[in-house]
Structure 1
Amino acid sequence: MTRIPVRTALALALAASLAAGCSSLADELEREADPARSSQPAAGGEPPVDVDPLTPPGPTDPAGDPPSVPMEVPCSGEGFKASAGMVSSAMGLRAMSITLTNCGTGAYEFHGYPALTVLDEQRDPVAIEVLKGTDGISSGIRNTEPKPILLQPGESVSATVAWRNTVTDAARPAPHGTYFDVAPAPGRAGHAVKPGDGGPIDIGSAARIGVSAWEKTAADGTPE
């Protein structure tokens, strides 16, 4: 049996104590920085996985968010889809296009003006006057007479909606809308769309809008 000098034994004991102390200190520092011990290796020796407590580990649940209405809605049960163009504005005048596309399998005849309703954020109708034609809003907007249109599958018709956001009566609150409900004709199913820029329909205190007659549009979106 080999004897170890007392001085050497003391030195070895001191070194072991310091090593244990360093390990314990390292453990304490790690616990302070990561109290949940989330960065510890998983069973089997796999590398640690960083976990950001501020970021959930997956997509957030969108439940409870109000449904949004896109600028273009899918094909409806009766074979139409609606879309709205960007709002052009100048000196209080607003104008934008609305389009209906025949996405069904049969032809459909259009004749006259769109059946148009302005809806608020809760989809309730806004009390305004809808004029047939846009001359009552501005004489500078294209405004043709209604004519019969036979719309084949894949073809589209469009019309122009115009209004002013000027306030002429401070005692009368100016109505605001969020959606246009567009139908091919009175009595037909409507299609709710937002203006192309997503902005509000800021109707002035006159509380009226004008809409032109349906026109058949070419493939590039211009009237035929």
Structure 2
Amino acid sequence: MALVATLATLATGCGSLADELDREADPARVSQPPAVPPIDTAPLDTSAPSDGPDAAVTATACDGEGLRATSGMVNAAMGLRSMSITVTNCGTGAYELNGYPALTVLDEDREPVAIDVLKGTEAIGTGLGNAKPKVFTLKPGESATTSLTWRNTVTDAARPAPHGTFFDIAPVPGRAGHVLQPGDGGPIDIGTAAQLGVTAWEKAEPDSGATAPAPSTPAS
């Protein structure tokens, strides 16, 4: 028993000596062991994003001029292709449109493709509708549309048929452009004639489905 008591006394003494050395080295006792953070038991969000590098660019954000652009689906029949592009006033002021948009076809690297863009669609096909250009104003929330038409026909086997991936469309020449793909994300398969017709802007009716949601603040 005496031996046990002696060992206990020595252990206590060693503990007291260690505590005393700690107090001398850190009188304020600021060197406390770090707290263990709580374990986060919330499930991880493993859902895929709604868009990404492979997603089709079928709509643009509201730009600094207060416009947003949206592409429609391509209608195809007997080698004839047509689709619409809608611009919407997403700003807070009025926006004037006059005449034809400025359109460029781009490849997958967003480089221009050698295609003749025509004002009107008479050279592409008859009976497609070609309203005369006119000046009108889009109020916030209002939209305007233009139609693009081309043919996917090969008449010259020795001439490569141009293919595009994007449309760069500006409301009028000299203004900021919007880069879009066809609504189905498919290629712009223009034949060897290498021509595309575009109609003048027309104001969309409020109940046509082309009007965008409530206006938002344009990007700076």
1:156 to 143, 160, 164: 143
1:196 to 154, 174, 183: 183
Give 1:142 shift: 1.4
List aligned pairs for 1:88-127, cutoff 5 A: 88-127=75-114
Specify every segment of 5 or more residues in structure 2 that has no aligned partner in the other structure, as ranges: 1-43, 211-220
2:172 to 185, 198, 214: 185
Contact 2:56 2:185 in 1 (8 A): no
Give 1:60 shift: 9.0
Structure 1 residues 90, 61: CA separation in 2 closer, same or farther (over 3 Å shift)? closer
Instruction: Kindly report structure 1 stretches of 4+ aligned residues shifted beyond 6 Å.
Output: none
| TM-score normalised by L of structure 1 | 0.69
1:79 aligns with 2:66: yes
Give 1:58 shift: 6.8
Q: What do the CA deviations read for 1:180-199 (whole angstroms, capped 9, x no partner)?
A: 11100111010011111111
Aligned to 1:9: none
The amino acid across from 2:65 in the alignment is: E
Give the number of equivalent residue pairs.
165
- Quick one: higher RCO (CA 8 Å, sep 6+), 1 or 2? 2
Q: Distance in 2 between matches of 1:146 and 1:109?
A: 13
How many percent of aligned residue pairs carry the same amino acid? 62
Contact 2:124 2:197 in 1 (8 A): yes
| TM-score normalised by L of structure 2 | 0.70
Give 1:222 shift: 7.2
Give 1:72 shift: 1.2
The amino acid across from 1:90 in the alignment is: A
Structure 1 residues 123, 181: CA separation in 2 closer, same or farther (over 3 Å shift)? same
Pairwise CA RMSD of aligned residues? 2.0
Instruction: Tell which deviates more after alignment, 103-112 or 213-222.
Output: 213-222
The amino acid across from 2:142 in the alignment is: E
1:175 aligns with 2:162: yes
Give 1:68 shift: 3.9
Give 1:220 shift: 2.8
Q: What do the CA deviations read for 1:120-176 (whole angstroms, capped 9, x no partner)?
A: 111111110000001110112111100111111110010110000100111110000
Structure 1 residues 172, 189: CA separation in 2 closer, same or farther (over 3 Å shift)? same
Contact 1:69 1:192 in 2 (8 A): no
Q: Distance in 1 between matches of 2:137 and 2:47?
A: 47
Give 1:67 shift: 6.0
Aligned to 1:145: 132
List aligned pairs for 1:41-60, cutoff 5 A: 59=46
Q: Distance in 2 between matches of 1:212 and 1:87?
A: 16
Q: Distance in 1 between matches of 2:48 and 2:209?
A: 42
Aligned to 2:205: 218
Give 1:78 shift: 1.3
Give 1:108 shift: 1.1
The amino acid across from 1:209 in the alignment is: L
List aligned pairs for 1:17-56, cutoff 5 A: none
Structure 1 residues 169, 78: CA separation in 2 closer, same or farther (over 3 Å shift)? same
